[in-house]
Homo-oligomer: A and B are copies of this chain.
């Protein structure tokens, strides 16, 4: 028998999310996740450091995608337009991942430790975005403020998107939030 397991990582992630939703995150063991996926614990640990990492495995890729798109926006784009380009890139990456995203959101909302980890992830993302804006020549405090605004739009848009009954694309919901922020906060 070959040791190669086709899409072992994806199967483990799917099994983990199912179990976290069914039994609760804290009650689920790595052995159960591996069992549900038809794989061994050893295979689990080849892909993930622990059961929390299944939920945060995409953090670095998300940040890289967001900051790269901000960096690549046309030179003449205003800071908020560059952030909007980053939001579009990130939203596009969620296409076809609605079910995983919904389950992940549900599990994180139910567990204090995971909510804290998510806050740290988003604060780190905002810092990285601010640094990217500064490299585009945006001074502080505008860089930090625009970065925080972009992350708030993403977070609130994402929460609305995963809510029951929402069937639009993530990009559409996030665009609506960005427009809402610009109207609500814009200079009088």
Contacts and interface: CB of A to CB of B under 8 A. Distances in A.
A81 B40 CA distance: 57
A153 to B, nearest CB: 7
Nearest to A112: B120
A146 B183 CA distance: 10
Binding site secondary structure of chain A = helix
A78 interface: yes
A145 to B, nearest CB: 4
Kindly report how many copies of this chain are found in the complex they form together.
2
Interface in A143-188: 144-146, 148-149, 152-153, 155-157, 160, 176-177, 179-188
A142 B180 contact: yes
A169 to B, nearest CB: 16
A80 interface: yes
